[in-house]
């Protein structure tokens, strides 16, 4: 009898010695923490709360610079959200921080009653989105977007990567009312010369059209449109390049705002593409795929939809590369899924 064992660690690729890890981490810019600190220098009504995860959420920068405006309620997320609601009612803009799953699922009632319902100016910032952690089901936020989308008055933002984080933070700060901001800390510094990505709240961002240099908004349409969010934007772009190399006309867009959702964009593109594919680091239930499906259904569109993400299941404790491959969320997995649907349609 042979026992098959999955290598969850990708040959140990996710591990490092403490000294090596510490040295590497110190060389990585903290794009979120630096942007929040810059905003706090400009706007004295900003206060920061962290559920005992200051380093992991880059809020130690804020704590060390403005200790009088920083609160650590401890590992008590529901209390933290309630406190933030009270601070916001006092005229402050409260930013709360923890991991995505603890920022949404655990204090959901407090978010609904003390943030969303009274429309308080609270920004809920979650780290470790979706399958980006080895810590297993207890830490994998595969339902957080679904929870936050369901709340009236809530705005939901997920930047595509470090280059879009500063714009996302400023967009959240400029919006008067509740915001859920979902992101992963940068694993490395951006390459020199990388431009900062803009973010217009409530608009899907066209990235690549059917032809080189042609934006999705002005292209002639084609075989498929990939609408991706967060960590899935870069794999979607890589998949599109591979498909275009095979003669398949594929466009790509970044859905950085999950709520309010850009319905007009989806409706317009559904008339110009035979297939729309959503790609998300989240359950396909209640997230980006559901948002697009709702638009297509209500518009009576006949455009085919393929939802890629975590299917209706829990994941497991494993490295992020392993999990993305297992759930078909790599460039190769996305390209294979698109090819299979197009082949079936023909």
Q: What is the pLDDT of residues 73-87, one digit of tens each?
A: 999 999 999 999 999
pLDDT, mean of residues 160-173: 98
Q: Does any domain span residue 100?
A: yes
Check residue 26 and give its pLDDT.
67
CATH number for position 287:
3.40.50.920
Q: What would you report as the CA-atom Rg of the chain, rounded to the nearest whole angstrom?
A: 20
Cα gap 10→321, rounded to integer Å: 7
pTM metric for this prediction: 0.91
Check residue 20 and give its pLDDT.
53
Least confident of 82-91, 177-186, 336-345: 336-345
Check residue 222 and give its pLDDT.
80
Check residue 318 and give its pLDDT.
94
Q: What are phi and psi of 204, to 5 degrees?
A: -75, 135
Domain identity same for 126 and 222: no
Q: Does any domain span residue 46?
A: yes
| pLDDT tens digits for range 20-68 | 555 556 679 999 999 999 999 999 999 999 999 999 999 999 999 999 9
CATH number for position 167:
3.40.50.970
Average pLDDT, the chain: 91
| 3-class DSSP state of 157 | strand
End-to-end CA distance of the chain: 43
- The range of the structural domain enclosing residue 230 comes to 205-345
Domain identity same for 323 and 224: yes
Cα gap 208→323, rounded to integer Å: 27
Judge contact between 304 and 274, C-beta under 8 A.
yes
Least confident of 118-122, 179-183, 269-273: 269-273
* pLDDT bucket at 7, cuts 50 / 70 / 90: very low
Domain identity same for 234 and 94: no
Q: Does any domain span residue 227?
A: yes
Domain identity same for 176 and 209: no
Point out the domain boundary residue: 183, 217, 239.
Answer: 183
Q: Does any domain span residue 172?
A: yes
Domain identity same for 96 and 225: no
Cα gap 198→176, rounded to integer Å: 19
Check residue 213 and give its pLDDT.
33
Judge contact between 235 and 263, C-beta under 8 A.
no
Domain identity same for 214 and 296: yes
Question: What's the burial of 313, exposed, middle or buried (CB within 10 Å: 0-12/13-18/19+)?
Answer: exposed
Q: How far is CA 327 from the centre of its chain?
A: 17
Check residue 16 and give its pLDDT.
46
| pLDDT tens digits for range 199-255 | 999 999 999 884 333 333 444 558 999 999 999 999 999 999 999 999 999 999 999
Q: Does any domain span residue 18?
A: no
Check residue 216 and give its pLDDT.
39
Q: Does any domain span residue 176?
A: yes
Secondary structure letter of residue 163 according to DSSP:
G
Percentage with pLDDT > 70 across the chain: 89
Q: Does any domain span residue 105?
A: yes
Secondary structure letter of residue 129 according to DSSP:
B
Q: Which helix (H) or strand (E) segment is 32 a member of?
A: helix 31-42
Pair of tokens at residue 91 = 């005229």
| 3-class DSSP state of 40 | helix
Point out the domain boundary residue: 150, 183, 216.
Answer: 183
Q: Inform me whether the pLDDT recorded for 71 exceeds 50.
A: yes
Q: Sheet harboring 222-228: ordered strands across? A: 205-208, 250-254, 222-228, 273-283, 304-310
Domain identity same for 226 and 327: yes
Cα gap 290→285, rounded to integer Å: 6
Point out the domain boundary residue: 153, 183, 213.
Answer: 183
Pair of tokens at residue 163 = 């280059």
Residue 291's contacts (CB-CB under 8 Å, 6 or more residues apart) are: 149, 255, 258, 259, 261
Pair of tokens at residue 33 = 């923490």
Domain identity same for 164 and 66: yes
Cα gap 255→59, rounded to integer Å: 26
Q: Does any domain span residue 20?
A: no
Domain identity same for 145 and 219: no
């Amino acid at each position: 009898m042979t026992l098959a064992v999955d290598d969850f660690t990708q040959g140990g690729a996710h591990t490092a010695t403490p000294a090596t890890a510490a040295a590497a981490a110190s060389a990585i810019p903290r794009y979120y923490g630096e942007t929040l600190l810059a905003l706090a220098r400009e706007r004295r009504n900003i206060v920061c709360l962290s559920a005992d995860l200051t380093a992991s959420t880059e809020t130690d920068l804020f704590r060390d610079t403005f200790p009088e405006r920083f609160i650590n309620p401890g590992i008590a997320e529901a209390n933290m959200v309630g406190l933030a609601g009270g601070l916001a009612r006092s005229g402050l803009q409260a930013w709360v921080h923890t991991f995505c799953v603890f920022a949404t699922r655990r204090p959901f009632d407090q978010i609904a009653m003390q943030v969303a319902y009274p429309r308080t100016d609270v920004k809920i910032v979650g780290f470790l989105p979706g399958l980006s952690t080895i810590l297993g089901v207890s830490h994998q936020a595969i339902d957080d977007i679904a929870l936050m989308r369901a709340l009236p008055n809530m705005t939901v933002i997920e930047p595509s990567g470090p280059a879009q984080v500063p714009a996302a933070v400023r967009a959240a700060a400029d919006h008067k009312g509740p915001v859920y901001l979902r992101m992963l800390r940068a694993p490395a510094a951006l390459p020199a010369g990388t431009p900062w990505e803009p973010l217009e709240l409530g608009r899907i961002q066209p990235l690549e059209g059917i032809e080189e240099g042609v934006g999705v908004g002005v292209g002639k349409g084609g075989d498929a449109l990939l609408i991706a969010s967060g960590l899935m934007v870069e794999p979607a772009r890589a998949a599109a390049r591979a498909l275009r190399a095979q003669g398949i006309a594929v466009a790509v867009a970044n859905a950085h705002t999950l709520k309010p959702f850009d319905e007009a964009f989806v409706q317009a593109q559904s008339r110009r593409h035979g297939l729309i594919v959503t790609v998300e680091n989240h359950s396909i239930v209640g997230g980006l795929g559901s948002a697009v499906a709702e638009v297509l259904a209500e518009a009576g569109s006949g455009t085919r939809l393929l939802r890629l993400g975590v299917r209706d299941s829990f994941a497991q404790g494993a490295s992020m590369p392993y999990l993305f491959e297992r759930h078909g969320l790599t460039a190769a997995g996305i390209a294979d899924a698109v090819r299979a649907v197009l082949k079936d349609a023909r």
